[in-house]
Amino acid sequence: MRNFLLALFLFTFPAYGGELTAVVKKESLLLSSCTFSSTSCSTFLDIPWDKPSFQFWLSYYRNRWNRVKLLSQVNSFRIFYPTVREIFKKEGLPEDLSLLAVVESNGNPAAVSKAGAAGLWQLMPGTARRLGLKVNWLIDERFDVVKSTVAAAKYLRELHSLFHRWDLAIAAYNAGPGTIKKRLERLGADQFWDLTKLPDETLEYVPKFYAVLSVVKSSNVLNRPSKESLVTVKVASRTTLSRVAKALKVSYSLVKRFNRQFRRGIVPAGYCVYLPSRSIGNFKVLKYAMNSKVYVYVPRRKEKLTVIARRFGVSAKFIKRLNSLRCNVAFKGQPLVIVKLGEKRKDGNS
């Protein structure tokens, strides 16, 4: 299949040598003007301009509809990108690898494959458990944006320490390290581009990733200002997604869509719920959400606001105002939103 696609590509573009030179110049100029930050300009990963399989995928994404589809997926991924980029940076990985999520799941944290891989990083249950994620009847942390990204980052770093090259690490992420190691030993090769007889999916996976990286960087879509961001809400006492939705005035269907890790709709104490900022209907909370820690607390019995306030280190008057309460007590099962001003949450576990 791979050879057929390459043959088709070469047949379609007979003046391939001249086209390749023009492509390299054009894409290099585009990349020189696009960055992942406003203060630096670095490609981070070396793009394999001279590889035919990469050029095939680059040509594929030059098609208008293919490019529109890709950029639509990337646009949906934008809300998660700052979180993913920050985690990868913290783990010492090239920020470019963040776009591997687009190749894996189209940037969709709720994605599930026919083979059973799930989440933004399409982790199989066994791999997820080995990386420290919970996968059981109540919780499936493969759908947790923060925890799954931390696990994927550790796995990629592990693969890079094994193969010492990012092209091989990326291939191993798709095919498994055992498969890549066997082919390297059998062929005496030291890079992905020299490997043969790999699964077709893996042979296309690596060049496709580099093509996506090139197109996204040249489009500069991830640098455009966004009006929407991901809000992290920590649940301080065991509750349900429906109560979280009620406290924040968000539709239950949206809360469920962004938090598929809670398979039964039950949120244990200490876990985090993620929501797009523009969906939060409690505007008093939204005002503070991006610069403060936000909690949802559900009393198990009738409690005075002063007691709850002391527990969280906030003002009782502030809790009353945020939740539009008429009295100074909270009743059993009544979800409350609590904001600790000036304490920005760094990740989903803080």
199 and 289, same domain (yes or no): no
78 and 27, same domain (yes or no): yes
153 and 297, same domain (yes or no): no
181 and 126, same domain (yes or no): yes
Report pLDDT for 345.
52
How many folded domains does the chain comprise?
Answer: 2
16's tokens: 């391939």
Of 263, 265, 257, nearest to 235 by C-alpha is 265
Q: Is the pLDDT of residue 248 over 50?
A: yes
73's tokens: 């997926």
299's tokens: 């009393």
Catalytic annotation, residues: 104
What distance in Å separates the CA atoms of residue 102 and residue 273, rounded to the nearest whole number?
A: 22
Q: Is residue 198 part of a domain?
A: yes
Q: What pLDDT, in 10s, does the model give residues 198-247?
A: 889 999 999 999 999 999 999 988 888 788 899 999 999 999 999 999 99
Q: What pLDDT, in 10s, does the model give residues 33-88?
A: 333 333 333 336 888 888 999 999 999 999 999 999 999 999 999 999 999 999 99
CB 319 within 8 A of CB 272: no
What distance in Å separates the CA atoms of residue 176 and residue 172, rounded to the nearest whole number?
A: 5
Of 331, 59, 7, 334, nearest to 214 by C-alpha is 59
Q: Which of 19-23, 88-92, 229-233, 284-288 is least confident? A: 19-23
256 and 129, same domain (yes or no): no
What distance in Å separates the CA atoms of residue 32 and residue 293, rounded to the nearest whole number?
A: 38
For 225, phi then psi, to 5°, come to -60, 140
This prediction has a pTM of: 0.83
What distance in Å separates the CA atoms of residue 99 and residue 221, rounded to the nearest whole number?
A: 12
What distance in Å separates the CA atoms of residue 297 and residue 320, rounded to the nearest whole number?
A: 13
Report pLDDT for 292.
84
Query: Of 223, 249, 268, which one is at a domain's C-terminal end?
Result: 223
Q: How confident is the model at residue 287 (pLDDT cuts 50, 70, 90)?
A: confident
33: domain range?
Answer: 2-37+45-223
Distances (CA, A) of 23 to 43, 52, 58, 87: 17, 12, 9, 33
Q: What pLDDT, in 10s, does the model give residues 144-194?
A: 999 999 999 999 999 999 999 999 999 999 999 999 999 999 888 888 998
325's tokens: 């309460």
What distance in Å separates the CA atoms of residue 285 and residue 282, rounded to the nearest whole number?
A: 6
